[in-house]
Every structure is written in C-alpha cells, then in structure tokens.
C-alpha cells in the first residue's frame, strides 16, 4: 500500500511539474532547437485572449524580466516581440583520469567549473487566442577567454560534458519563455 501511495504521489508531482512548463524546446546536436514534435516553433493556446492582450502581457513580462528591456527587445505592436538577450551558466569540467594531474591540481571551485555566456534570440508572435514561440537561436557563445566560439567547438575544446551544457542552456531558455508568457499577476496593494 505504501508503494502504491508513493508511486501515486510521484506520478502526480511529475504531472504537475510538466503542466507548469508550457515551453519545452530540446537542444539538438548542432545547437539548434526543436519542439518535442520536431517543429521549430511551439504554439501555446490562451482561450478568450485577444492578440492585443497577449502582446501586452508578454511585453510587460519582458519589461520586468530584463534590466533594460528597450535594449534587448524589438516589437511590431500586437504582432511580434523579438528579444536579443544574454544568458549565463556554469558547467563542471570533466574529470581527468591522469593521477599526476589529480595530485598537482588544487581543488577549488575555479578549477572545477567553467563559466560561460551565450547570446540568444527569442521571437514571440501573437494571434487571437494563441502565442507562437519560435525555437530559440543561439547567435554567440563565449567564456572569459574565447568570444563567439561556436558552441559545438567550445564544448569539444574545453572537454566539458556536452549533454550537461545543452541541458543547462535548454532549461534556462525554456524557463525564461515560460516566465515571459506567464499570465500570473502579482497583486500588490499600493
């Protein structure tokens, strides 16, 4: 009975987590993105909302999400919002099997993590009752030493786990898209 209850709780939590994430792009081996059905866009329904309401909602979210929204976004009112932003991440270096390397390398966070940034483009299109989100495009990628290095080459040269880097970027962009299309309003009494 306990196992059945545990399984039911696990199933419910998985369903709830997936229900909160409307946007789920997957990063491909060539660093492009596709939806789960292989398309280069996702359409999110918003029943009863006009294109103007949806545009306004996303525009407000862009304004609150970015420090200087006017510097990262372009728009055609009630039709399209395009965002040119920068994301940041950290990824663990792969472990070296050389015992000599292990003995001489001091252990510190600086020696176990790579910091990286990537420049991306997100496009949102609006029609009555729905928002189309085009697959993100990564247009630049860098760490502290190399600028605009293609991500596939950077991953190979740095010896980091490609899957972890891709998951980090994928997760960050999917969460960002979810925030930008969120219709939740924070009620404040001011």
Of the candidates 105, 92, 107, which has an alpha carbon nearest to the alpha carbon of residue 158?
Answer: 92
On whether residue 1 sits in a domain, the answer given is no
State if pTM tops 0.95: no
On whether residue 14 sits in a domain, the answer given is no
On whether residue 185 sits in a domain, the answer given is no
Please name the residue ranges forming H helices in 26-79.
51-65, 69-72
On whether residue 7 sits in a domain, the answer given is no
Per DSSP, what are the bridge partners of residue 43?
Answer: 132
CA angle (56, 60, 62) in 5-degree steps: 115
Per-residue pLDDT of the chain (190 residues; tens, 9 = 90+): 555 444 444 444 444 444 456 899 999 988 899 999 999 999 999 999 999 999 999 999 999 999 888 899 999 999 999 999 988 887 776 654 444 334 444 444 455 677 788 889 999 999 999 999 999 998 877 766 555 666 766 677 666 777 888 888 899 999 999 999 998 765 666 6
For residue 39, the domain's CATH number is 3.30.530
What is the token pair recorded at 147?
A: 């600028």
Based on the structure, what is the number of domains in the chain? Answer: 1
On whether residue 34 sits in a domain, the answer given is yes
On whether residue 6 sits in a domain, the answer given is no
Residue 172 structural domain: 24-180
What is the token pair recorded at 119?
A: 């420049």
Coil vs helix vs strand at 84: strand
On whether residue 5 sits in a domain, the answer given is no
């Amino acid at each position: 009975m306990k196992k059945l209850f545990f399984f039911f709780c696990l199933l419910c939590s998985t369903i709830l987590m997936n229900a909160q994430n409307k946007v789920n792009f997957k990063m491909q081996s060539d660093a492009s993105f596709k939806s789960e059905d292989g398309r280069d866009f996702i359409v999110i329904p918003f029943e009863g909302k006009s294109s103007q309401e949806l545009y306004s909602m996303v525009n407000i979210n862009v304004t609150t999400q970015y420090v200087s929204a006017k510097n990262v976004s372009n728009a055609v009112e009630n039709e399209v919002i395009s965002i040119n932003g920068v994301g940041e991440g950290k990824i663990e270096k792969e472990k070296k099997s050389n015992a000599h390397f292990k003995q001489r390398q001091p252990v510190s966070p600086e020696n176990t993590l790579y910091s990286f940034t990537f420049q991306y483009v997100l496009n949102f299109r609006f029609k009555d009752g729905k928002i189309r989100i085009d697959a993100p495009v990564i247009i630049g990628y860098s760490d502290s030493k190399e600028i605009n290095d293609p991500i596939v080459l950077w991953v190979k040269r740095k010896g980091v786990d490609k899957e972890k880097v891709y998951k980090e970027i994928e997760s960050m962009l999917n969460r960002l898209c979810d925030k930008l299309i969120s219709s939740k309003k924070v009620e404040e009494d001011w």
